[in-house]
Structure 1
């Protein structure tokens, strides 16, 4: 069957090719967005150290980005405070699928020293789903790079069925 001079292919073929190109491009240059939900900034300093030439996270194509609409990976530090909860949810919802979340540091994972404070709701996975946890107070840059490598492998695997449907 033809449409003018262009032969018609199976309708799903081009979509599969496009999905493979998207997956490949995401694995070659994942964009990060950082969200501090109320920490002491120790983990934030280690994230920035990870992006310096000494640790060279950019060899994996990783780039820190300012907009959640273009980010693939959300890196969260600190416990979730009452003020940060809505902004964290809004940032997560603005990210395109497939999206991944990394909880960096003891405060993001368990609430840390801030657990039980009057203004702290809890840890990150009480608000949004977390894919990878990086323990430590503060965690070493090597541990953060290990988490990024794990997420690159998840990105290479492609979107899950339920993510592809949304």
Structure 2
């Protein structure tokens, strides 16, 4: 059953009760990485293994995302600054125990490539927060694999 989450802004990424931060350097330059994140939303299914459906909504102001295992999200884009940051919050999800969720993808030049920092920010019930912290190694692996696939995709 889907439920509406508390609307949060970009500041939530720095103040959420649970913040999982992952970082990786890519060979690809910031511009094509940003385009893959923010402009080619349907392309997420090609490089982020957990994503089974990704499509923009509301003329690009939102997204609909489905993950393996049946999780669903309707999101609002909070920031889209070319080659710098792409952030969104979850408005509606079927994830039990979630009260607020936001993600930020921050890009920075790293030599001729890009340093990608993904922050997953969340609030929810105590069991939800514990489960997210326990999921950190799996999310780290998913991020690493996604960044490897994304780098191949945008440098091909």
TM superposition score normalised by structure 1: 0.26
TM superposition score normalised by structure 2: 0.27
Larger radius of gyration: 1
Write 1 or 2 for the structure with the bigger share of helix: 1
Q: Bigger relative contact order, structure 1 or 2, given CA contacts below 8 A and separation 6+?
A: 2
